[in-house]
Amino acid sequence: MCDDTTIQIVDISTPVMNKNDRFAASNRELLSGKNIFTLNLISSPGAGKTTLLESMARFFGSKMAVIEGDVQTDRDAERVRKAGCQAWQIETGGSCHLDAEAVNHALGHMDLESDELALLCIENVGNLICPSGYDLGENLKIGLISLPEGDDKILKYPSLFSRISVLIINKMDLLPHIDFDVNRTIDECRSLNPEVMVFTISAKTGEGMEEFCGYLENQFSG
C-alpha cells in the first residue's frame, strides 16, 4: 500500500520574520519622513520604564510622544499623559512582545503632524527575552536594567544585550542599600556589545537624566 503514496516537496524558503520586517521598514519610512527619532525601550517588568518616560516627558514636553505596550490595562499611557505628552496604549492581550504591525496600527491613531514632535518612545512589554528579536522600525534599541534586579543579568539575556545601542542602569539612588557592581554590569555588556553607550540614572530623583536626554537631543537634532 505504501507504493501508492508519493511525497511532494513544496519549497517555501521564507524567513519567518519577513512580515514583521516589512512593517518595521514601513514604520521607519513613515517616521523618518516626519523627522521623528524613535526608541524601542526594553526591560524586565518593574525596572522603571514608565518612570523614565515620565521623567523624559517633563524634559521634552510636546517634542515627545509615547506608544505603551502592555499585556493588559492602559495604566502606563495614563501615567505618561499626566506627565504631559501624547500617549497611545497597545494592549497585547497576552502576547509577550510588541511587533511592528501593532506599532504600525498605533501610529495610525496618533497625531504625528506637529512640527514640534521629534521623539517617539515605544515602551515594549516588560520582558528581557521575547521583544529582542522584533524590529519595530526604531532608530535606537535601548535596554534598561535596575539595581534591585542584580548585577548578573547581562550575560543571562545575551539576545537582548548584544543587540542594544544604549544600556541604561536605573534606580542608582538605591546604590547605598544594594550590592550591585555597576562596573561589572557595564563590562559584561561591553563584552557582548563593544560599542554600547551606557547611562547610569535615577528616573525617580533625576540623577543622570540631563546627560541621557542631552544625548537623545543630539541624536534627533543632529
Partner 1 sequence: MHELSLARDMTRIIGKVLGGCRPLDTVNITIGPLSGISPESLRFCFTEVAKMEGFGEPKLVITETEAKLICLDCNVEYQAKEFYQGCPSCGSFSRRILSGREFTVDSVEIMEGTD
Give residues in contact with partner 1 (CB under 8 A): 4-20, 95-97, 99, 129-130, 132-134, 155, 158-159, 162, 190-192, 194
Residue found by looking up cell 550591585 in the block: 180
Q: Which residue's CB is nearer to partner 1, number 71 or number 112?
A: 71
- Smallest distance from the beta carbon of 9 to partner 1, in angstroms? 5
Three-state DSSP class for residue 172: helix
Furthest C-alpha separation in the chain: 76
Q: Which residue's CB is nearer to partner 1, number 13 or number 218?
A: 13
- Smallest distance from the beta carbon of 17 to partner 1, in angstroms? 7
Q: Which residue's CB is nearer to partner 1, number 58 or number 163?
A: 163
Contact between 134 and 80 (Cβ < 8 Å): no
* Beta strands 37-43 and 119-123, pairing class: parallel
139/40 Cα distance (integer angstroms): 8
184's grid cell? 561589572
- Smallest distance from the beta carbon of 159 to partner 1, in angstroms? 4
Q: Which residue's CB is nearer to partner 1, number 11 or number 111?
A: 11
Q: Which residue's CB is nearer to partner 1, number 150 or number 158?
A: 158
* Beta strands 86-91 and 140-146, pairing class: unpaired
- Smallest distance from the beta carbon of 106 to partner 1, in angstroms? 17
Given phi > 0 = left and psi -120 to 50 = alpha, else beta, which region is 46? left
- Smallest distance from the beta carbon of 36 to partner 1, in angstroms? 27
107's grid cell? 501610529
Nearest by Cα to 99 from 49, 133, 144: 133
